[in-house]
Amino acid sequence: MTIELDGSSLTRKQVIEIACDGVDVTLAPAALVRVQRAADFLAEKVSCGEPVYGVTTGFGSNADKLLGAHRARDELPGGNPEQFEGSLLEELQHNLLITHAVCVGAPLAPEVVRAILAIRINTLLRGHSGIRVSTLERLTALLNRNVIPVIPAKGSVGASGDLAPLSHLAIVLLGGGEAFHEGERVSGAEALERAGIEPIRLSFKEGLALNNGTTQMLATAVLALSRIENLIATADLAAAMTLDAFAGRSGALRPEVHALRPHPGQVETARHLRELLEGSTLVDIPYHLVPRFRTWTADSWSDPVEQQRRFDICWDYVPPSQRHGREAFYERFLPFKGGKKHQPQDAYCLRCMPQVHGAVRDAWEQACRIIDIELNSVTDNPLVFPDAENPRFIEDQVISAGHFHGMPLALAMSYVKAAIPVLASISERRLNKLVDPANNDGLPAFLIGNEDATDSGFMIVQYTAAALVNDMATRAHPASVYSIPTSANAEDHVSMGTNEARHVLEMTEDLGHVIALELYTAAQALEYRQDMLNAARSVARRGDWSAMAAKISNAPHEDHPSHAAFAEEIRGLMKALNDAGEFHAGSAVQKALARIRKVIDFMQRDRAMDGDVRRICELVASNDLLRDSA
């Protein structure tokens, strides 16, 4: 499979296929005609002696310096032993790349570099940059033969574009720098030789065409947004599993509710959660049916089969003397208090999932809109318009503008950057609620039986999630608000968008870890909830009144005045449980639980959890959980 690049129709999906799946590219013939026309136009203007920025003048703060007919440095005492072989015009472009390749840090991941190559090729195909077809074909060969230039991650201020990192990329075409080939880090010259690619000598404006643009920040943003799209969907899945584990309320997800405040992301999140929870018999369960956890003891269950359970269950009875003023409530619900509190609304981390997840979705959607425009835009400088009508001066056809400025991307990624810890934070709050016995609606403390008081269960899982959320929050400060002028103040306002996009991409890993930890915890909680409810149903179906009464922690004695009412009402509880049918989560949540249980067992007592955590994080990162629960 190959993807044809034409400068106008590149999509985020195609970038991901090229970057991550190794898909090759071809160049649209019509686009190559435009490319050659611009290159020929520049050659003609140079031959006429017209001054063109970045072609016959210096760059940045050197823009007021015109290139001469010969090298003044030839007259320096002692001569110049490192004399450049080509013309001054060629030397200008060559020196631009070799002096701008000054980034530091670890090399960008191969998928980021492949995305950069694809995007750079596509923007140059618009035919407004002055690059030759032969040079563009050589750049395409790097991508298709999987020569991955070594680009240290840090060094771009996001205007004029990503000068330094793109210089590291382009310098390999000259036979300089370093590159990875077949996983081995070698010199640029060796990588070209191995791949059968001839090094090039740059022509008019080609250095500037290759290194001036928003390409690194854009490539990083595309990869980050792809990950975030999957993580938002996974966060919805984790949220649905947690809501099922709480036997929560679905009213806050109803479509008529969100029609009154129709933010697109909010509406979509509510719809998605309803879909994930479809078929659940846990959500909206009557309060009185839900027992609370009680520590297992040797006499917890009278039946030998039931004695194999890892928990006990119980309710409290509300005697008639304590129902004054609440008669209407107890006409609807039986007078038993188990795990569910008698309140019609859940905590914010459950009730406000559409509003919070939805706002993150909207931030992602806005960034996608910006990125989609940028993918097929020309972002270098100056812009070449060989077909301009009635030009009077060269400035009418070679126009210096500011498309290299990354602020549109920077602000979009600032928005996403602020959204990431928000999504992580609400996930951690749900996780915390699951392990806290004061707030988990009758589940065991830290989701472990702890019969001998030796078990910590899922206690420290929440610590890790809290640490990750804090780390993301401290990195969420927008880089885009802090410009530092460059090039002797010729470039006096920059975007810092490359830092912004890099931060977002890095933060997606921690976001995935937090969501994975919620899923890990919610799976344990959900099994407890289902098993406890189905254990109660099993007792009820046996029809053993005394066995059911033994699960009421404050059952009145037979000689107590309220005993007759209690006997009638406990039979009502048994009938309600028996009539309810099997208790289970929504269909999609059940699939997700089954997928998790393929690699992680229920934890009945403390065990080493590092392997569990690694496996759940891998499951989320691979997107297998999303695919298998669809």
pLDDT tens per residue across span 130-144: 999 999 999 999 999
Give domain status of residue 380, yes or no.
Answer: no
Residues 152-178 have a mean pLDDT of 96
| Annotated catalytic residue 348 | yes
Would 407 be classed as within a structural domain? Answer: no
375 part of a folded domain: no
According to the model, what pLDDT value does residue 61 have?
Answer: 65
pLDDT score of 503: 97
Distance in angstroms (rounded) separating the CA atoms of residues 59 and 96: 8
Give the residues across from 178 on adjacent strands. 187
- Give dist(CA 390, CA 38) in Å, integer: 17
* Distance in angstroms (rounded) separating the CA atoms of residues 419 and 13: 22
Determine the Cα–Cα distance for residues 464 and 428; give it in Å rounded to an integer. 9
Q: What is the pLDDT of residue 57?
A: 75
**Is residue 50 situated within a structural domain?**
yes
CA distances (Å), origin 622, targets 227, 301, 511: 10, 42, 14
Count other C-beta atoms under 10 Å from residue 88's C-beta: 14
Among residues 188, 213, 238, the one where a domain terminates is 213
| Same domain membership, residue 120 and residue 250 | no
Q: Answer yes or no: are the C-beta atoms of 582 and 534 closer than 8 Å.
A: yes
Domain at 345, CATH number: 1.20.200.10
Residue 421 has pLDDT above 60, yes or no: yes
Percent of the chain with pLDDT over 90: 80
Active-site residue identified among 491, 500, 518, 569: 491
The Cβ of residue 119 has, within 10 Å, a number of other Cβ atoms equal to 26
> Within this chain, do residues 332 and 278 fall inside the same structural domain, yes or no?
yes
Residue 146 burial (CB count, 10 A): 17
pLDDT of 539-572, one tens digit each? 999 988 889 999 999 999 988 888 999 999 999 9
What proportions of the chain, in percent to the nearest 5, are helix, strand and coil?
A: 55, 5, 35
Question: What pLDDT does residue 55 have?
Answer: 78
Task: Give domain status of residue 183, yes or no.
Answer: yes
Inside any domain, residue 395: no
Average pLDDT of the residues in 583-593: 98
Confidence of residue 491 (pLDDT cuts 50, 70, 90): confident
**Number of folded domains that form the chain:** 2
**pLDDT digits over 13-62, tens only?**
999 999 999 999 999 999 999 999 999 998 888 887 777 777 777 766 67
Last residue of a domain, which of 159, 180, 213?
A: 213
Look up the domain containing 423 and give its range.
225-366+414-484+496-629
Told to judge if 450 belongs to the known catalytic residues of this protein, a careful annotator would answer no
Does 404 participate in catalysis according to the annotation?
A: yes
pLDDT one-digit tens code per residue, 331-367: 899 999 999 988 888 999 999 999 999 999 999 999 9
Indicate if the pLDDT at residue 429 is higher than 80.
yes
310 and 288 in contact (C-beta within 8 Å)? no
Report pLDDT for 344.
81
Q: Binning pLDDT at 50, 70 and 90, where does residue 76 land?
A: low
d(CA 24, CA 17): 9
**What letter does residue 447 receive in the DSSP assignment?**
G
Selecting among 12, 34, 94, 100, the annotated active-site residue is 100
Is 403 inside any structural domain?
no
pLDDT for position 616: 98
Q: Do 324 and 259 reside in the same domain of the chain?
A: yes
Distance of alpha carbon 418 from the chain centroid: 12
Per-residue pLDDT for 522 more than 80?
yes
Phi, psi at 547, each rounded to 5°:
-65, -35
Of the candidates 159, 177, 180, 158, the residue with the CA atom closest to the CA atom of residue 167: 177
- For residue range 216-267, list pLDDT tens digits in order: 999 999 999 999 999 999 999 999 999 999 999 999 999 999 999 999 999 9
Residue 187 and residue 247 share a domain: no
pLDDT, mean of residues 434-443: 97
What single-letter DSSP state applies at residue 456?
Answer: -
589 domain-assigned: yes
Last residue of a domain, one of 187, 213, 239: 213
CA nearest to 526, candidates 577, 471, 595, 465: 595
Q: Is the dihedral of CA 265, 269, 272, 274 positive or negative?
A: negative
Q: Which residue has the higher pLDDT, 400 or 506?
A: 506
Q: Quick one: 101 and 170 in the same domain?
A: yes
When the pLDDT of each residue in the chain is averaged and rounded to a whole number, the result is 93
Q: Are residues 147 and 126 in the same domain?
A: yes
**Residue range 155-174: average pLDDT?**
95
Least confident of 83-92, 273-282, 335-344: 83-92
- Provide the pLDDT for residue 81: 55
| Annotated catalytic residue within 62, 80, 348, 560 | 348
CATH code for position 45 = 1.10.275.10
Q: Catalytic residue among 122, 211, 212, 440, which?
A: 212
The number of helices, as runs of H, and strands, as runs of E, in the chain is: 22, 13
Those residues with Cβ within 8 angstroms of residue 156's Cβ, 6 or more apart along the chain or in another chain: 103, 162, 163, 164, 165, 216, 217, 498, 499
Among 194, 309, 351, 571, the active-site one is 351
Q: Please tell me the distance from the alpha carbon of residue 467 to that of residue 465, in angstroms, as a whole number.
A: 5
Least confident of 69-73, 192-196, 225-229, 622-626: 69-73
Which of 53, 59, 528, 566 is labelled catalytic? 53
90/174 same-domain check: yes
pLDDT of 440 over the 80 cut: yes
Whether residue 165 is found in the same domain as residue 136: yes
Same domain, 189 and 338: no
358 in the same domain as 268: yes
Q: Are 559 and 565 in contact (CB under 8 A)?
A: no
If pLDDT is split at 50, 70 and 90, which confidence band does 64 have? Answer: low
Structure-block tokens of residue 57:
């003048």
Q: Annotated catalytic, 94?
A: no
> Does residue 256 share a domain with residue 323?
yes
- Asked if the peptide bond before residue 546 counts as cis, ω within 30 degrees of 0, the response is no
**Same-domain pairing of 107 and 32:** yes
Q: Is 194 one of the catalytic residues?
A: no
Average pLDDT of span 281-292: 96
